[in-house]
Amino acid sequence: MSQKPIVGCPGLCETLAMLNIEVRTTSDLMSIALYAEREAVRRYARLAEAMHRHGNQEAAAMFERMVEEEQAHEHMIEKWAKLEGVELRTDIGPVVWEDPQVPTDYDDEAIDPEYSTPYRALAFAVHNEERAFHFYVYVAATADDASVREHAETLAREELGHAALPRAMRRRAWRAEQQTGRDEPDIEPHLIHTLADLLSVAVSADHCLADNVDTLTHISPELGMFSAATHSILMDTEARLKTVGKPGEDVARAIESIENYRRKTAAMKDDPDALQQRLRSDSDRCFAFYDTVVTHASDETVMLTAQQLSESMLERIGLLRDSIKTKN
């Protein structure tokens, strides 16, 4: 009886256990892997075209690079299956996997053709590789068939290797974005070692955002939801910071640069258009910072907290974009 292997997670509340439902044989696993690579090629190519149409050539180039990478992965799986005599099924699809730790709106934010940056495009690609890695790891840990486990372990290692290039490119893109804003605060993610380091930066950054949006809300009431969310998160983060101590010296200096920047933006209160642009770019920079801390963090609590901060920042970016659309 023909089965339709759908590898997926309907919502964030679901668990990775749902990803293994239909993977019973090596043929199932290799066929799903091949289909996923082909789907990635198709999607990245479509995104590259969208970026070109909107004049976002930098992001388009990033997605075109990812098309080439995924095509190489696709050919590798085909050769591997042929070498081992594994029959690749043609009835696989659709294949969808989502990591419950990654918010679904991340994809929408990362691939928006007018708003995407090289960093966002690469972060999107890295998250896709991480989703695949989680899937293969889960299959390797739970499959009954020894051959399935062995092939899943190999595919998991391959995914780690595949993610190495976009991760390196993402780091370079992060540094490039930082260098474009010379009057912006200088905060390197690798300086974050403790929870106190991370929360101290988060509090200082949110104070800057709160000051900015409070000034704008008087003339742009549609920013009210963004303002309310920022003040609520700031209150919670400040309360948590009081329980974890003080940041290290390097982070303390970085926070001082945020405070200097905060004073500069305060002087822009008579230029609401420029201030709104700063609010948007500062929010995006906060997300990029937290997202990069997730990658660099060696402490699990720091990593999980940075992940929470990046997710909440994405939600606020969504509110900000909605308010701008409403105004326009």
pLDDT, tens digit, 9 for 90 and up, residues 163-186? 766 766 666 666 666 555 545 666
- Any idea where the domains of the chain sit in the sequence? 16-180, 189-327
Q: Which of 93, 312, 92 is nearest to 202 (CA)?
A: 312
Q: Tell me the average pLDDT across 48-62.
A: 79
The two tokens of residue 59 are 């992001």
**pLDDT band at 322, cuts 50/70/90?**
confident
Q: Do domains 16-180 and 189-327 have the same CATH topology?
A: yes
Q: How far apart (Å, rounded) are the C-alpha atoms in residues 192 and 306?
A: 10
Q: How far apart (Å, rounded) are the C-alpha atoms in residues 291 and 210?
A: 21
Return the CATH number of the domain spanning residue range 16-180: 1.20.1260.10
pLDDT, tens digit, 9 for 90 and up, residues 295-321:
788 899 999 999 889 888 888 887 887
Q: How far apart (Å, rounded) are the C-alpha atoms in residues 164 and 22?
A: 29
pLDDT top residue among 187 and 184 = 187
Long-range contacts of 297-304 (CB under 8 A, 24+ apart): 297/192, 298/193, 299/193, 299/194, 299/195, 301/195, 302/192, 302/193, 302/194, 302/195, 302/197, 302/198
The two tokens of residue 165 are 């290039």
Q: How far apart (Å, rounded) are the C-alpha atoms in residues 132 and 140?
A: 12
Q: Tell me the Ramachandran region of residue 85: left when phi exceeds 0, alpha when psi lies from -120 to 50, beta otherwise.
A: left
**pLDDT band at 94, cuts 50/70/90?**
low
Please give the CATH architecture assigned to the domain spanning 189-327: Up-down Bundle (1.20)
Q: Tell me the average pLDDT across 15-33.
A: 69
**pLDDT band at 190, cuts 50/70/90?**
confident
Q: What is the pTM of this model?
A: 0.52
> Does the pLDDT value for residue 4 go beyond 50?
no
